[in-house]
Amino acid sequence: MGAQSGRGKAEGGGTSAPESLLLERLGTRCIVLVGMPGAGKSSVGRRLAKRLGLPFMDADEEIERAAGMSIPEIFASRGEVEFRDGEKRVMIRLLQGGPIVLATGGGAFMNADTRAAVARLGVSVWLSADLGVLLRRVRKRTDRPLLAEGDPAEKLARLLAARGDTYALADLTVESRDATHEAVVDDVLAALGTHFQRKAEGQASPAPSSAP
């Protein structure tokens, strides 16, 4: 047994010092991954959680579990409005269970109530990616109702144009580049580390004097 402690398990068993510090600074907040379909929220999120030794939750899976149906079935039988309603409820419930890594569905962060809950209970990370990368990735699966009909490239472009400014409200932006999942996990960890370090330094520095 090494001398290291904590929940995060680095390769080889222990917890690396930066990851322990990150967990300490995260406290009970959730790491919330937002962004377009194909950004890697689910697959990168799962690996990120493993690296930190945190539970991983995928809002889409929880919605499916609660409804007893797949997402395409929910869209087909109940419609998108009801899906979004359930999504908001599930997001707020999951956010209350931190610390976890939470992968959202691509539309979840568009809801203002959900964004307010994320701001209160989480640190949000926009996994951004260019359209070419997204398109290659979403072509691997056909269970996204919003991309099911018509030209997926055009649909993705329209979704990104409508949502990009809102995703940019996230606390952090990390490019979900065309590299391995683990490389993107490294980038997310680095961005979180810098974010918490800056916050810690901000709290430690004295208030600026208003004296002339």
- 51 contacts which partner out of ligand S3P, Mg ion, ligand ADP, none, CB within 5 to 8 A by kind? none
Going residue by residue from 84 to 123, which x/- string records binding to ligand S3P, judged by CB under 6 A?
Answer: ---------------------xxx----------------
Closest listed residue to residue 104, CA positions, set 51, 37, 177, 47 = 37
163 binds ligand ADP (CB under 6 A): no
Which residues of the shown chain bind Mg ion in the complex (CB under 5 A)? 41-42
3-class DSSP state for residue 4? Answer: coil
CA pair distance 22, 29, nearest whole angstrom = 11
95 binds ligand ADP (CB under 6 A): no
Annotation-wise, does 84 bind a ligand?
yes
**Please, which residues bridge with residue 124 across strands?**
32
152 binds ligand ADP (CB under 6 A): no
CA pair distance 161, 83, nearest whole angstrom = 22
Contact 70, 61 (CB under 8 A): no
172 binds ligand S3P (CB under 6 A): no
Contact 107, 35 (CB under 8 A): no
44 binds ligand ADP (CB under 6 A): yes
CA pair distance 155, 176, nearest whole angstrom = 20
49 binds ligand ADP (CB under 6 A): no
Contact 98, 12 (CB under 8 A): no
Token pair, residue 85, equals 């309603």
Annotation-wise, does 130 bind a ligand?
no
Q: Toward ligand S3P, which CB reaches closer, 42 or 124?
A: 42
Task: Please list every residue from 129 through 158 that binds ligand S3P, using CB under 6 A.
Answer: 144-146
- Residues making contact with ligand ADP (CB under 6 A): 37-44, 103, 137, 140, 176, 179-181, 184
Q: Which residue numbers belong to the known binding site?
A: 38-43, 60, 84, 106, 144, 163
